[in-house]
Amino acid sequence: MSREIVFDTETTGFDYAKDDRLVEIGAVELVNHVPTGKVYHQYINPERDVPEDVVKIHGLTYDFLKDYPTFEKIADEWLDFVGDGVLVAHNATFDMNFVNYELKQAGRPEISWDRCVDTLEMAREMFPGARCSLDALCKRFEIDNSARTFHGALLDAQLLSEVYLELLGGKEPTLLLDTNKKDNKTKLSDNVHQYREPRVFDTEDDLEKNHQEFLAKYVKNPLWGI
């Protein structure tokens, strides 16, 4: 059984080494590349202010976050959810650095980098030179991200899980089974061809004669006969 945790984080800024902290984690569980419906979502008290320019990105103010638990208090439940699964993130270096910094500060074991998959690297390798942001990939794969007015960890994790499956080749790379996809108007039953009588085409006598002479001269024992 292959278990993967597609996750995303929101923070107070871009540099954990300069006292920026996590404010939100969202994650989606996949088993054998299939969403199980099991998710993890948690707002986190960063114990510091959230800059106004960052609030414009994810909408999370300190006044909103102050009543939520600190990371230390949710560290164990996060690790329990992750278990021994592979972690999947977009620009994974950013998310993993913050998560591991918070785990270290909480006295918990850090998550090994060899358990991580970076979908940004996957996308850049697949589409060199193209824009590979989450929004750009949603547009490329026709994934509806209209609810994404702010960056939100759980919504982004859910969108990323769909993008990740597309980067792997799609949920059903050989069969049209996803009837919920807006552009998938074809059902399997539509692909069943009805039997039709063979059509007979008249040919001129000269053409038929020339064809037979050509076969007799240049083709030895043709499969279609003479």
Q: What is the percent of the chain with per-residue pLDDT over 90, rounded to a whole number?
A: 71
Q: Is 151 a catalytic residue?
A: yes
Evaluate if residue 59 carries a pLDDT over 70. Answer: yes
What distance in Å separates the CA atoms of residue 114 and residue 225, rounded to the nearest whole number? 62
What distance in Å separates the CA atoms of residue 128 and residue 117, rounded to the nearest whole number? 18
Question: How confident is the model over 35-54, as a mean pLDDT?
Answer: 97
Q: Could you tell me the pTM of the whole model?
A: 0.74
The residue with tokens 């986190």 is: 44
Mind listing the pLDDT tens digit for each residue in 45-54? 999 999 999 9
Q: Of 33, 41, 90, 151, which is the active-site residue?
A: 151
206 CB-contact burial (10 Å; exposed 0-12 / middle 13-18 / buried 19+): exposed
Written as one string, the DSSP assignment of 76-120 is HHHHHHHTTPEEEETTHHHHHHHHHHHHHHTT-PPPPGGGEEEHH
> For the ranges 3-7, 21-25, 65-69, 179-183, which has the lowest average pLDDT?
179-183
Evaluate if residue 156 carries a pLDDT over 80. Answer: yes
Model pLDDT, residue 192: 38
Higher pLDDT, 213 or 193: 213
